[in-house]
Amino acid sequence: MTGRLVVEDIRPRTPGPDRYAKAIVGERVRVTAVAFRDGHDPLAGRVLLRRGDGTVVCSCELVALGNDEWEGYVVPTGVGPHLLEVQAWTTRHGSAGAVLDADTATDLTTSDPVRLWVDRERALVGAWYELFPRSFGGLSGVLGRLPDLAAMGFDVLYLPPIHPIGVTFRKGPGNTLQAGPDDPGSPWAIGSAEGGHTAIDPGLGTMEDFRELVGQARAQGIEIALDYALQCSPDHPWVHEHPEWFHHRPDGTIACAENPPKIYQDIYPLNFWPPEEADRVALWEACRAILEYWISHGVRIFRVDNPHTKPMAFWEWVIAEIAARHPDVIFLAEAFTRPKVMARLAEAGFSQSYTYFTWRTQQHGPEGLWAYLEEVSRGRASDYMRPNFWPNTPDILSGPLRHGSPAAFALRLVLAATASPSYGIYSGYELYENEPASESNEEYLHSEKYEIRRRHFSSPGNLSPLITALNRIRRSHPALQRLHSLTMHPTTNPAVIAYSKRSDDGDDVVLTVVNLDPGRAQEAILTFDPAGAGLDPSRSYRALDELTGESYDWFGPQPFVRLDPAVRVAHVLSITQGGPS
């Protein structure tokens, strides 16, 4: 129902009704709306942030942007469900004092409320590291790796499934169909006689070992993230206890997973819509119970395997159920899938998503980094989808990393760590592991999914110092902890990409410049307007490379950079007015 004024088109918001846009505690959330009325009297307005119980968290005056658009800011103080409302009214006082003015405004009009889910900080900001515990001798072996991960500045340690692995049709090295007696199998073939999704593979350790890992990690500032992979090996207890939860072939046997022409003989997918409604309810509740079980053991982050192979309605239900009880739980969607599906999973409630970053290697063009960074930071879906940039995963060795030089690994790392508030690497990245399974296969040679890999992390010349530096810079620069402020800067050389970010208060400005060509030195003139970064354009300004400590005194909007991979692949520059005047 339209009121006396039109107050509509609120952002952030989701395309669908009754779903949540997203923010984190302490984030300055920019809210925009369209507001106007008939006639020529001036308007004033405000934006209100309400908790789920209706209490107002904050109220901020709106400022006119022109074209009947207005903006204001709110700052959430606690996690959970919130509502945004925009109010506007005719004022006789101009915009000054407008917030108080509202109390006597006779034509005050309130927009339809927009839902906003507020997460804790880690839903937006975090450095992730992924490792297979079995390659470290199990959970207790991982304890020994924690101090290095903490020293490198990682926030989240993500473990692929730690559950018992099936033996029936167990995969051998390189995804072959015959496993030898000592082959460990894929951790995603979950379940054996020793248990299912709530059990720990005895080869990895005990529940006590797991509790110890969670505790020691927490003490060192690291959270453990578990894999939530809703599928079963043929030996999973559910196969016998609940055959009705699986797909059956006409001959009565249970169907294995297929992604034609691939067949996954070691995995049975679950049938989320069994013929009987009671069976559906029981299965969904059992899936929820897995999450509740690990939550009761201290886990608050889940990396969700292949969410696009399960019904959207299930995700909406299970995430809402968990969020209502545990609003601090974070879900990362492994949504390397179609664009519409990826965005829709975020709308369904996932806190963050893997992205196409892994395959975005050039600057320009429809599949380039420029367009992609603008899309993930400012596109419509950025109201509710948060990226997590991974240069590699156990499944994906792509682009310049294939047979890549250390410079290739360094440049992809800098891009991920500075462009997205959340990023992650899979173990071995710091050692420049670069051998693909084949020229046509995106997986690794000797994929750790099927084999145990022992690594020498202290090998000289590895990437740890750069990782450490980047994570330190990320923590000390609030600009890098935000998504929406990302601004692309044109350069005169397509091999040199440049973008900057600002902190909520505008005081912290970080300009990142990366040479996308690991093979040779590249030069470029950037377009960087100091006034756009809040600086006085009539004075020089200082660009301090936080990676090296070198600083450059620049003047004007066209600084020059030269990046030689033999020396450095990137500048991560803190920009201040502090140059000589």
Catalytic residue positions? 305, 334
Peptide bond into 202 cis (omega under 30): no
Q: Which residues pair with 64 in a beta bridge?
A: 70
> Rule CB under 8 A: is residue 34 a binding residue for its own copies?
yes
Minimum distance from residue 40 beta carbon to its own copies (Å): 6
Q: Which CB, 113 or 137, lies closer to its own copies?
A: 113
Other C-beta atoms lying within 10 Å of the C-beta of residue 542: 17
> Rule CB under 8 A: is residue 313 a binding residue for its own copies?
yes
Stretch that binds its own copies, among 134-142, 310-318, 404-412, 537-545 (CB under 8 A): 310-318
Among 218, 240, 248, 338, binds its own copies (CB under 8 A): 338
Among 52, 56, 107, 550, binds its own copies (CB under 8 A): 107
- Are the C-beta atoms of 459 and 406 separated by less than 8 Å? no
Q: How far is residue 224's CA from residue 552's CA, in Å, rounded to a whole number?
A: 40
Among 133, 269, 478, 559, binds its own copies (CB under 8 A): 269
- Are the C-beta atoms of 34 and 138 separated by less than 8 Å? no
**β-pair type (257-259, 231-232):** unpaired
Q: Which CB, 73 or 272, lies closer to its own copies?
A: 272
Minimum distance from residue 275 beta carbon to its own copies (Å): 9
Q: What is the DSSP string of 60-116?
A: EE-EEEETTEEEEEE---SSEEEEEEEEEEE-SS-STTHHHHGGG-TT-EEPPPEEE
Per-position x/- string for 384-423, each x denoting binding to its own copies as judged by CB under 8 A, each - no binding: ----------------------------------------
Minimum distance from residue 342 beta carbon to its own copies (Å): 10
Strand ranges, E, within 355-394 = 387-389
> Rule CB under 8 A: is residue 243 a binding residue for its own copies?
no
> Rule CB under 8 A: is residue 104 a binding residue for its own copies?
no
- How many residues bind its own copies (CB under 8 A)? The answer is 39
Q: Which CB, 3 or 579, lies closer to its own copies?
A: 3
Q: How far is residue 236's CA from residue 121's CA, in Å, rounded to a whole number?
A: 36
Which of the 8 DSSP states describes residue 255? P
Helix axes 406-419, 369-378, angle to 10 degrees: 30
> Rule CB under 8 A: is residue 340 a binding residue for its own copies?
yes
- Are the C-beta atoms of 162 and 196 separated by less than 8 Å? no
Among 341, 371, 431, 445, binds its own copies (CB under 8 A): 341
Q: What are phi and psi of 421, to 5 degrees?
A: -65, -30
Stretch that binds its own copies, among 36-44, 71-79, 137-145, 288-296 (CB under 8 A): 36-44
> Rule CB under 8 A: is residue 84 a binding residue for its own copies?
no
Which of the 8 DSSP states describes residue 265? T
Q: How far is residue 399's CA from residue 305's CA, in Å, rounded to a whole number?
A: 23
Minimum distance from residue 318 beta carbon to its own copies (Å): 12
Closest CA to 454 of 423, 474, 431: 431
Minimum distance from residue 544 beta carbon to its own copies (Å): 38
Stretch that binds its own copies, among 61-69, 152-160, 427-435, 561-569 (CB under 8 A): 61-69
Q: How far is residue 88's CA from residue 185's CA, in Å, rounded to a whole number?
A: 61
Residue at 279: amino acid letter: D
Exposure letters 342-353 (e unless 16+ CB within 10 A, then b) = bbbbbbbbbbbb
Q: Which of residues 2-31 bind its own copies (CB under 8 A)?
A: 2-4, 6, 8-9, 15-17
> Rule CB under 8 A: is residue 276 a binding residue for its own copies?
no
Among 32, 68, 121, 472, binds its own copies (CB under 8 A): 68
> Rule CB under 8 A: is residue 375 a binding residue for its own copies?
no
Among 25, 30, 32, 36, binds its own copies (CB under 8 A): 36
Distances (CA, A) of 65 to 34, 47, 69, 534: 10, 15, 5, 18
Q: Which residues pair with 7 in a beta bridge?
A: 35
Q: Which CB, 69 or 183, lies closer to its own copies?
A: 69
Q: Which CB, 17 or 181, lies closer to its own copies?
A: 17
Q: How far is residue 303's CA from residue 428's CA, in Å, rounded to a whole number?
A: 19
Q: Which CB, 25 or 254, lies closer to its own copies?
A: 254
Q: Which CB, 31 or 157, lies closer to its own copies?
A: 31
- Are the C-beta atoms of 170 and 189 separated by less than 8 Å? yes
Minimum distance from residue 79 beta carbon to its own copies (Å): 24
Stretch that binds its own copies, among 155-163, 193-201, 253-261, 560-568 (CB under 8 A): 253-261
Stretch that binds its own copies, among 284-292, 333-341, 513-521, 545-553 (CB under 8 A): 333-341
Positions that interact with its own copies (CB under 8 A):
1-4, 6, 8-9, 15-17, 34, 36-40, 67-69, 107, 258-260, 269, 272-273, 308-313, 316, 338-341, 344, 348
